[in-house]
C-alpha cells in the first residue's frame, strides 16, 4: 500500500507541472495544460485496461468492465483536475490518482467490480464564475443557458468547448444513463478538523449549502483632490463598509461562513474616487434556512449602505446550492471500512462544495476525506502525508471488498 500511496502522491506532483503559469499551479477549465493532464491520465487508464473518452463537457472518463457477470453495474470514482489560481498539487487531482489505485487494487484482489473513473473538467468555478460544470453534465443537470457565460477574455463557454475540439451540442449525451452502484470521491479535507483531532481519514456526512452572488455598486468617479468628502459617491468606500458588515454578520451566526473574496474597483487609480465596485459574496451553512436568511440580510445591508451613500446597486445571484446529504448506506460502509482498517470511524460535514454533491442528485454518493496538514488548501503550501494517503487506500480496499461482496 505504501508504494501505491507514494505513486499517487508523485503523480500529483508530476501533474502540478502542467499549468498555465510557470512556477505556479493554475489550471482553469479547458485551458491548454488540461490537454497534458488528460493525456497523462489517459495513458494511466489505458494501462489499467480502461476504455477512455473525453465527453462534450471535457470530462476524461475511463471505464473498465471487470465484472461481466454484473453488466451495467459499476462504481464511479473520481474528482476534478481544474484548480484555483496559485493552487496546491492535491486538491482534486489526488482523488483521481487514488481512484486509479483503487481500480488497480480491485484488479489485483480479483474483485468482481466494474469501474468508471472520472477526471472532472471543472469544479472550482474560476474561469466562468460558475462551478461544477463537469459534474453538472455527468449528472444530467447542465443548463444549456450556461454556454453563454463569458470568461475574462470574453470567450463564451460554448466557444471554449469548441476551441478545445469538443461539441457543446453533445453535452446531454455526457449524462450517466444507467444505474451505477454509486459515486465515491476521495478528497483532501481542506480544513483543520482532522489535523486537530489527529486523524487520517473521515467519512463525509453531507456538504454545506452555498450561495454565490455578485454586488455591483455604482457611484461617481471624480477628482480625488477637488471633490469634498460630503459631495462624493464613492463606490469603493461603500464596498468596504459592506464587507465589514458581512464579516460581522458571519461572526455572529453560529456555523456561518461568509466571504467577499474578490473586488474590482474602477477606474482603480490612486487619485480618482472609485466610480464603480464589483464584489463577490460566498455564503455557506449546513442548514439551508440559515444560509438563505443570511444572504437576504447581506443584500439588505448592501441596499441600506448604497441608499445612504447615493450609490446604485445591482445584485446578481450566480449560484444557489442547497445543502446535500451523502448516501447513508455508502457512508456507513465507509465508516465500517475505517473500523475494519483499524481507524476511528470519524464522520464530519464538508464546508467546501465538491463534485459529489452534484453527483448525489443522480446516484448514491459518498466522500472520504483525508487530513490536510496545517488545514491548508487552495495554496501552494497545500500538502498531504504519505501515511494518510496509505490509510485512505487501506480504507478503500475494505470498502471495495464490502461492495464487491454485495455485488456477488
Ligand atoms: Zn477540490
Quick: pLDDT tens for 229-281: 999 999 999 999 999 999 999 999 988 999 999 999 999 999 999 999 999 99
pLDDT tens-digit readout, 215-229: 999 999 999 999 999
The answer to whether 64 touches 49, Cβ cutoff 8 Å, is yes
Q: How far is the CA of 62 from the centre of ligand 1 (A)?
A: 20
- Give strand pairing partners of 186: 368
Helices 93-108 and 33-47 cross at an angle (nearest 10°) of 10
CA of 59 to the centre of ligand 1 (A): 15
Whole-angstrom Cα distance, residue 99 to residue 329? Answer: 20
The angle, 0 to 180 degrees and rounded to 10, between the axes of the packed helices 2-16 and 93-108 is 150
Residue 408 is predicted with a pLDDT of 58
Q: According to the model, what pLDDT value does residue 106 have? A: 94
Can you tell me the distance from the alpha carbon of 97 to that of 77, in angstroms, rounded to the nearest whole number? 10
Question: 3-class DSSP state for residue 79?
Answer: strand
Give the separation between CA 177 and CA 325, rounded to whole angstroms: 22
The predicted structure's pLDDT at residue 4: 97
Quick one: CA dihedral 338, 344, 350, 353, positive or negative? negative
Distance CA 389, CA 400 (A): 16
What is the predicted pLDDT for the residue at 179? 77
**Residue 256 alpha carbon to ligand 1 centre in Å:** 20
Q: How many Å lie between the centroid of ligand 1 and the Cα of residue 90?
A: 8
CA distance 61 to 78: 9
* 187 CA → ligand 1 middle, Å: 7
Quote the ligand 1 centre to 46 CA distance (angstroms): 24
Cα of 382 vs centre of ligand 1, distance in Å, is: 12
Residues with CB under 5 A from ligand 1 (ion): 91-92
Q: What pLDDT is stored for residue 67 in this prediction? A: 53
| Ligand 1 geometric centre to CA of 354 (Å) | 6
Distance 200 CA to ligand 1 centre (A): 18
Distance 83 CA to ligand 1 centre (A): 8
CA of 93 from ligand 1 middle (Å) equals: 8
Distance 91 CA to ligand 1 centre (A): 5
- Position 349 scores a pLDDT of 87
Report the separation in Å between the CA atom of 393 and the middle of ligand 1, taken as the mean of its atom positions. Answer: 19
Distance of CA 299 from the midpoint of ligand 1 (Å):
28
- Quote the ligand 1 centre to 126 CA distance (angstroms): 12
Torsion angle in degrees (nearest 10) through CA of 98, 205, 28, 164: 70
Q: Which H helix or E strand runs over 14?
A: helix 2-16
User: How far, in Å, from the CA of 270 to the mean position of ligand 1?
Assistant: 37
In DSSP terms, 87 is beta-bridged to 25
HEC string for 85-153: CCECCCCCHHHHHHHHHHHHHHHHCCCCCCEEEEEECCCCCCCCCCCCHHHHHHCCCCCHHHHHCECCC
What is the pLDDT at residue 237?
Answer: 98
Q: From ligand 1's centre to the CA of 267, what distance in Å?
A: 34
* Alpha carbon of 68 to ligand 1 centroid (Å): 33
pTM > 0.85: yes or no: no
Ligand 1 centroid distance, CA of 168 (Å) = 24
Counting as low any pLDDT under 70, the low residues of the chain are 66-72, 407-408
Task: Say whether 34 sits in a helix, a strand or coil.
Answer: helix
* CA distance readout (Å), 168 to 16, 131, 152, 173, 205: 28, 17, 20, 10, 34
Q: What share of the chain is helix, strand, coil (3-state, %, to 5)?
A: 40, 25, 40
Amino acid at each position: 500500500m505504501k508504494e501505491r500511496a507514494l505513486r499517487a502522491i508523485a503523480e500529483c506532483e508530476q501533474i502540478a507541472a502542467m499549468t498555465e503559469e510557470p512556477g505556479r499551479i493554475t489550471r482553469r477549465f479547458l485551458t491548454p495544460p488540461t490537454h497534458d493532464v488528460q493525456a497523462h491520465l489517459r495513458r494511466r487508464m489505458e494501462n489499467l485496461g480502461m476504455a477512455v473518452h473525453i465527453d462534450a463537457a471535457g470530462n476524461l472518463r475511463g471505464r473498465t468492465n471487470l465484472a461481466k457477470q454484473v453488466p451495467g453495474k459499476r462504481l464511479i470514482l473520481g474528482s476534478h483536475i481544474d484548480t484555483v489560481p496559485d493552487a496546491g498539487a492535491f486538491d482534486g487531482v489526488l482523488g483521481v490518482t487514488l481512484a486509479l489505485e483503487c481500480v488497480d487494487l480491485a484488479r489485483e484482489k480479483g474483485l468482481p467490480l466494474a469501474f468508471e473513473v472520472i477526471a472532472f473538467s471543472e469544479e472550482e468555478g474560476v474561469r466562468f464564475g460558475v462551478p461544477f460544470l463537469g459534474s453538472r453534465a455527468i449528472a444530467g443537470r447542465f443548463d444549456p443557458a450556461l454556454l453563454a457565460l463569458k470568461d475574462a477574455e470574453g470567450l463564451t463557454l460554448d466557444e471554449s468547448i469548441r476551441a478545445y475540439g469538443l461539441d457543446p451540442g453533445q453535452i446531454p449525451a455526457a449524462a450517466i444513463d444507467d444505474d451505477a452502484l454509486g459515486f465515491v470521491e476521495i478528497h483532501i479535507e481542506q480544513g483543520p478538523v482532522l489535523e486537530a483531532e489527529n486523524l487520517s481519514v473521515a467519512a463525509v456526512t453531507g456538504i454545506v449549502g452555498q450561495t454565490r452572488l455578485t454586488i455591483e455598486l455604482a457611484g461617481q468617479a471624480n477628482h480625488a483632490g477637488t471633490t469634498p468628502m460630503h459631495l462624493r459617491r464613492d463606490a469603493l468606500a461603500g464596498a468596504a463598509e459592506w464587507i465589514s458588515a458581512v464579516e460581522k454578520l458571519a461572526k455572529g451566526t453560529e456555523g456561518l461562513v461568509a466571504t467577499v473574496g474578490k473586488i474590482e474597483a474602477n477606474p482603480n487609480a490612486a487619485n480618482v474616487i472609485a466610480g464603480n465596485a464589483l464584489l463577490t459574496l460566498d455564503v455557506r451553512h449546513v442548514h439551508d434556512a440559515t444560509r438563505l436568511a443570511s444572504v437576504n440580510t447581506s443584500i439588505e445591508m448592501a441596499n441600506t449602505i448604497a441608499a445612504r451613500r447615493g450609490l446604485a446597486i445591482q445584485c446578481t445571484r450566480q449560484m444557489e446550492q442547497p445543502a446535500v446529504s451523502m448516501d447513508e448506506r455508502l457512508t456507513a460502509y465507509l465508516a465500517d471500512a475505517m473500523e475494519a482498517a483499524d481507524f476511528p470511524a470519524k464522520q464530519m460535514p464538508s464546508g467546501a462544495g465538491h463534485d459529489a454533491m452534484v453527483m448525489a442528485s443522480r446516484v448514491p454518493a459518498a466522500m472520504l476525506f483525508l487530513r490536510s496538514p496545517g488545514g491548508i488548501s487552495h495554496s501552494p503550501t497545500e500538502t498531504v502525508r504519505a501515511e494518510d494517503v496509505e490509510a485512505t487506500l487501506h480504507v478503500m480496499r475494505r470498502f471495495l471488498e464490502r461492495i464487491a461482496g454485495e455485488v456477488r
